[in-house]
């Protein structure tokens, strides 16, 4: 499956972006187009998830996966924080802000994993998009709890803006809103627009990952805040978190594909919603650290290696 992943056009476009970025090519996706691609992908994945829930109804598996997702998002930042403090040698605020990223989730990693699993004949439950949506926020709360002793005044003074940013973040609003629309419309209502949101989906994803590869490479080449210790953790933490997530999903009775997706969500690191929240709640934390780790190292590692590994792992233990 690793070979299949590495030779997939979706991954190859991402690798092309990485190589072009490292080579300092002038290749670029216009910002307006990149935002349009992101909007399309979020709307498509939300719609399909909502339609699937409408077709199957609210099942015990959805409830179990949702509770597991909340627990993972809230609890994972605590051991991550310990590693960042002890091995990564980060201060309290930087460690707390970075730990929040590794408890939250990456929409693009989820989308990529879903497509890679589908290509490999492992179709995960579509209700996992709902689990993705609810895993955004708990990690932010954990990060603030970890940072509270040294930054209580800052956190309390910005709490109103923080929750507005978290709950009304553009990605959250669009993803949840599209999911509700898909649920209300159901399979019959979705049928007329299905060609638009399924026909071009993988091609749009290829272009979006090309842009993400460019961004990841440029983030890595443009930072000086990243140490070798942090680089090691940016690979180790998603690997361990992913194994925990996939194992938990298997123990709870999820099928191998869905357990693998839960592992991917646990392994992913936010680089959109959490950075926006941390800018408000912990402005003294260094973005060069948490963005370089989550976007520059963890995201490429997950896309190129960890998705395939977690898919294999979930099948082996499932």
Distance CA 97, CA 118 (A): 34
In a domain? residue 295:
yes
Place of tokens 């839960």: 262
- CATH number of the domain enclosing 13: 1.20.1530.20
In a domain? residue 236:
yes
In a domain? residue 24:
no
Phi, psi for 137 (deg, rounded to 5): -90, -40
Q: What is the pLDDT of residue 192?
A: 93
Stretch among 19-33, 155-169, 227-241, 294-308 having the lowest mean pLDDT: 155-169
Residues 116-170 pLDDT 10s: 888 888 889 888 888 888 887 788 888 888 887 644 444 444 555 656 666 666 6
Do the beta carbons of residue 51 and residue 187 sit within 8 Å? yes
Q: What is the pLDDT of residue 185?
A: 92
Distance CA 111, CA 116 (A): 9
**Which residue range forms the structural domain that includes residue 244?**
2-19+29-317
In a domain? residue 138:
yes
**What number is the average pLDDT over the span 100-128?**
88
Give the mean pLDDT of the chain. 86
Percent of the chain with pLDDT over 70: 91
Distance CA 31, CA 112 (A): 21
Between 198 and 262, the more confident residue is 262
Q: What are the tokens at 94?
A: 């930087």
Q: Indicate the pLDDT class of residue 233, thresholds 50, 70 and 90.
A: very high
Do the beta carbons of residue 109 and residue 308 sit within 8 Å? no
**Distance, C-alpha 24 to centroid of its chain:** 26
Distance CA 152, CA 148 (A): 5
Using CA atoms, how far residue 56 sits from 44, 45, 49, 178, 249, in Å, is: 18, 17, 11, 17, 20
Q: Indicate the pLDDT class of residue 181, thresholds 50, 70 and 90.
A: very high
Distance CA 261, CA 311 (A): 8
Q: What is the pLDDT of residue 283?
A: 82
Phi, psi for 106 (deg, rounded to 5): -115, 115
Helical pair 9-22 and 107-119, crossing angle rounded to 10 deg: 140
**What number is the average pLDDT over the span 33-59?**
84
Do the beta carbons of residue 295 and residue 215 sit within 8 Å? yes
- Greatest distance between any 2 Cα atoms in the chain: 55
* Model confidence pTM above 0.75: yes
In a domain? residue 35:
yes
Q: Give the count of domains, the chain.
A: 1
In a domain? residue 94:
yes
Do the beta carbons of residue 254 and residue 305 sit within 8 Å? no
In a domain? residue 44:
yes
Task: Specify which of 144-148, 254-258, 281-285 reaches the highest per-range mean pLDDT.
Answer: 254-258
b (16+ CB within 10 A) / e for 146-163: bbeeebeebbeebeeebe
Q: DSSP string of 2-25?
A: HHHHHTSHHHHHHHHHHHHHHTT-
In a domain? residue 70:
yes
- Residue 267, judged by CB atoms within 10 A of its CB (0-12, 13-18, 19+), counts as buried
Phi, psi for 114 (deg, rounded to 5): -60, -45
Task: Specify which of 29-33, 50-54, 251-255 reaches the highest per-range mean pLDDT.
Answer: 251-255
**Distance, C-alpha 29 to centroid of its chain:** 21
């Amino acid at each position: 499956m690793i070979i299949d992943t590495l030779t997939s056009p979706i991954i190859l476009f991402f690798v092309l972006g990485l190589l072009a970025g490292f080579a300092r090519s002038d290749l670029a996706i216009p910002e307006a187009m990149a935002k349009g691609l992101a909007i399309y992908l979020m709307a498509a994945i939300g719609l399909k998830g909502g339609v699937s829930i409408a077709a199957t109804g609210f099942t015990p598996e959805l409830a179990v996966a949702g509770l597991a997702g909340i627990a993972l998002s809230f609890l994972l930042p605590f051991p991550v924080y310990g590693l960042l403090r002890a091995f990564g040698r980060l201060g309290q605020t930087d460690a707390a802000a970075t730990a929040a990223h590794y408890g939250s989730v990456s929409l693009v990693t989820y989308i990529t994993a879903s497509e890679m699993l589908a290509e490999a004949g492992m179709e995960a439950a579509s209700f996992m998009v709902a689990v993705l949506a609810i895993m955004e926020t708990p990690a932010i709360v954990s990060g603030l709890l970890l940072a509270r002793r040294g930054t209580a005044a800052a956190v309390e003074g910005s709490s109103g803006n923080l929750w507005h940013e978290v709950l009304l973040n553009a990605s959250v609003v669009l993803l949840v809103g599209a999911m509700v629309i898909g649920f209300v419309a159901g399979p019959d209502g979705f049928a007329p627009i299905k060609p638009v949101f399924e026909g071009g989906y993988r091609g749009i994803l290829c272009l979006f990952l090309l842009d993400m590869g460019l961004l990841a490479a440029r983030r890595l080449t443009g930072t000086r805040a990243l140490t070798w210790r942090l680089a090691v953790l940016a690979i180790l933490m998603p690997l361990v978190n992913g194994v925990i997530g996939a194992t938990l999903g298997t123990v709870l009775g999820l099928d191998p594909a869905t357990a693998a997706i839960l592992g991917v969500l646990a392994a992913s690191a936010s680089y959109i919603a959490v950075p926006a929240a941390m800018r408000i709640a912990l402005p003294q934390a260094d973005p060069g650290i948490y963005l370089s780790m989550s976007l520059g190292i963890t995201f490429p590692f997950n896309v190129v290696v960890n998705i395939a590994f977690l898919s294999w792992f979930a099948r082996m233990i499932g």
